[in-house]
Chains A and B, each alone.
Chain A
Amino acid sequence: MASTASPAASWRARFAGGAALRLESIVVLIVLSGIMAALSNVFLSVSNILNIVLSTSVFGVLAIGMTFVISSAGIDLSVGSILALSGVVGAILTSTLDWPWWVGILGCLAAGAFTGAVNGFLVTRGAIPPFIVTLGMLGVARGFALVLSDGVSIYGLPPEITWLGQGRPFGVPVPVIVLLLTALVAHVVLAHTRFGIYAQVIGDNEGAARAMGVRVERMKVLLYTLSGLLSGLAGLLFAARINSGEPTAGLSYELTAITATILGGTNLFGGRGSVAGTLIGALIMGVLQNGLNLLAVRPFYQQIAIGAVLILAVWLDRINSREGWRR
């Protein structure tokens, strides 16, 4: 009987059931930060901490979209490519065509949302597995970014846009503010609205969702559109920060975004997701990259570290779930 479970187990279940936030991820973040602080005396400086959250903000926004998609037992491998495509579209509209800044912002977001919607239609109408659809889109969107930009960076964005990447009202970088606002809205949507609950129920038991009247196909199109839209937002932040539309931006960011999501406690196989957890997961990735930079570890090793962390996180989750109730 479930009621005879040990107090520790039930406390844990309540914790996971409520916020769906993993205690482990917070512990990992604190331990990792402690190690970095011990190894580097600049790690805990205010400017470095701002650096960490600033570099976290771009793939943090990607990871929030990823959280919705993975909650529904899907996956979006195209986020990094959509980020690049959106940035290029925004730069062409404002720099090449000299249209106003707000057209650039809208164009950026629209390019992301549109590409995500195409993913969604292919997943539902085409009945193609999301892994394949978004892997294909990883190539297609990157290709379009290269074609549209002729393979070169497009410099010279309007100041209103570069402010989004470089501005620091009250000392806080604008991308960090954008990340936190996005996370706040996303948390409410995922945990407290029908849309968010249905996303998780689709990942839990798609047949049950359909039988109970959830419009599963419509939901999936919206979920991939949302992931695309947030990739567009990340593309905007990225382009604004480096003042150019960069066709090679966001390479392998899908790896970072997926890792952050899984580290945050979102179930890789769907059913349960947490935006707060994803934020912690993204910070872990940010601290890891920043720490390795401070320790002058060559960037090539960072790829190895991120990939290894993803595999390790999923492996530990598997071991963990074998003894517990979680799947």
Chain B
Amino acid sequence: MSLLDLRGVRKSFGAIDALRGVSFSVEAGSVVGLVGDNGAGKSTLMKTITGVYAIDGGDIRFDGASLIGRDPGAIRRAGIEMIYQDLALARMRDVAANIFLGRELTRSVLGLPLIDTKRMRAEAEAMIARLGARIPSVAQVTGQLSGGQQQSVAIARALTFNPKLVIMDEPTAALAVREVEHVLDLIRTLKSHGIAVILISHRLTDVFSVSDRIVVLRQGTVIADDATRDTSMNAVVAHIVGATDAAAH
């Protein structure tokens, strides 16, 4: 049984059919590259998995249970984390608050659950250190950090709570070359720890270097789903732009 199983997932926004029956699966501890042109439905598809969008049809099963009707908090608790392209950070709050956003640690004061800032900062500090990220202080307001540092915060948040599946939406789009290699190494590390990854990227070289399978999405449907070793850059590009199969292989 696969870790994540999508069956005929459909989603419309008014008259626009963003997803027209998407099916594919992700095995535990594997890396799946999800590629496609702008507007192919990649981000929409990921947001249906994380519960931000409710789907109109089909089923999404994770770890044997359906995710349909669950809210984003419940889906995170089930073990799916996503690193959003816009990073989804509260930029006026500090690093620790962002890492624990939605899962704040509390301590009981007179029976009231109050936020335990001290413990959150200590644990956030440890997580940042484990990732080898360079952030001046976890008490720093996130909006003051550089783009790369902000991304480290988003990554740390996704990895702090022992996920089984991490979805990354264009994690390398805004990074310098050295930082890109860091993210790719991270994906390999996750895989070696048995954590599955869905990598959405326009940079096909990145996708080819870390993925086990490559799924190509075009106009809301899966147009190709191959093991990385059985496909080629040309074939994938042909699928993305919609050229015929003859042009590939």
Binding site for B on A (CB under 8 A): 1-3, 5, 13, 17, 188, 192-194, 197, 200-201, 204-205, 207-215, 267, 271-272, 325
Contacts and interface: CB of A to CB of B under 8 A. Distances in A.
A212 B113 CA distance: 20
A194 B50 contact: no
B84 interface: yes
Given A200-B93, A201-B90, 6 more contacts: A205-B89, A208-B90, A210-B72, A211-B50, A213-B71, A213-B76
B52 A211 contact: yes
A1 B136 contact: yes
A204 B146 CA distance: 18
Contact of B73 (A3, A13, A193, A215): A215
Nearest to A202: B90
B140 interface: yes
Which secondary structure dominates chain A's binding surface? helix
A192 B50 contact: no
Interface residues of B, number: 37
Contacts of A267: 92
A205 B91 contact: yes
B103 to A, nearest CB: 8
Contacts of A13: 141, 144
A205 B89 CA distance: 7
Interface in B51-103: 52, 71-74, 76-77, 82, 84, 86-94, 97, 101-103
A2 B72 CA distance: 32
Top 5 nearest A-B pairs by Cβ distance? A213-B73, A212-B102, A208-B88, A213-B102, A204-B90
B84 A211 contact: yes
A267 B73 CA distance: 27
A197 B92 contact: no
A210 B74 CA distance: 12
